[in-house]
Amino acid sequence: MKNQTTSDMLVLSGLSDLPSLQLPLFLVFLLVYLMTLARNLLIIALIFTDSNLHTPMFFFLGTLACLDMGYSTVTTPRMLFDLPRQNKQISLHDCITQIYFFVGFGSSELILLAVMSFDRYVAICHPLHYIQIMRCKTCALLISGVFVGGMAYSLLHTLFLLKLTFCSSKPLQSFFCDFPQLLLASCSDTFINVLIILISNVFFGGGILTLTFCPYIIILNYYEV
């Protein structure tokens, strides 16, 4: 450990080292990224302009489109920037920031799916009380909980990443910063980080899956009755 050279700069391996593939890959991923942005912006514009879509379900759908754009924007522009470059260095600060938002947006999407399943449960099983339950204030509180929950979950992991030191001789075998590659590049003992990832994934992932599927199970039973 003492002989390892630490650094504040990390190196991404990228998608390919072959010069002949860099331009085609750049064009393909640029097209996919632009299509993703266009699709989500179209969804948001339709929801915003059509008064018939000003309902909780479409409000949550528009939020999902925003999260999807954020999730894509965290990684894709940096990947496109690095594709034609030989030196794919990224600072440790930028790398951890990328991980924070990548995990934060992804976690928020999962929580939002659970919120959307609850919305469908209320709409189908309690239609007469739907307007009273899913008021604007309730929807705003639910969306606030989505962002706070997702970003807090991400903050838990990134704070422990800040305690690690990283080896300059170990490039990240990826085109963006992610937990597994970053932990492999660390010169520190990552046992606590791995343990926290496993425990939080079990409780967070298991809890979100339960909250997402239980309303649909209740809905199916409701129709059978």
The range of the structural domain enclosing residue 32 comes to 9-224
Within-domain flag for 161:
yes
Within-domain flag for 153:
yes
Within-domain flag for 220:
yes
Residues 105-132: what's their mean pLDDT? 94
Within-domain flag for 52:
yes
Within-domain flag for 118:
yes
Task: List, in sequence order, every residue forming a beta bridge with 172; answer none if it has no partner.
Answer: 12
Within-domain flag for 3:
no
Residues 164-189: what's their mean pLDDT? 80
Total domain count for the chain? 1
Say whether pLDDT at 160 is over 80: yes
Say whether pLDDT at 1 is over 50: no
Within-domain flag for 92:
yes
pLDDT one-digit tens code per residue, 53-71: 999 999 999 999 999 999 8
pLDDT one-digit tens code per residue, 73-102: 999 998 888 888 777 888 888 989 999 999
Buried residues in 155-188 as b, exposed as e (16+ CB within 10 A) = eebbeebeebebbeebbbebbbbbbebbbebbbb
Q: Are 123 and 112 in contact (CB under 8 A)?
A: no
Within-domain flag for 197:
yes
Q: What is the mean pLDDT of the chain?
A: 88
CATH number at residue 61: 1.20.1070.10
Place of tokens 């799916």: 113
Q: In the chain, helix, strand, coil percent, each to 5?
A: 75, 5, 20
d(CA 215, CA 204): 18
pLDDT one-digit tens code per residue, 17-44: 677 778 888 899 999 999 999 999 999 9
Say whether pLDDT at 5 is over 70: no
Say whether pLDDT at 116 is over 70: yes
pLDDT value for 129:
92
Q: Are 82 and 88 in contact (CB under 8 A)?
A: yes
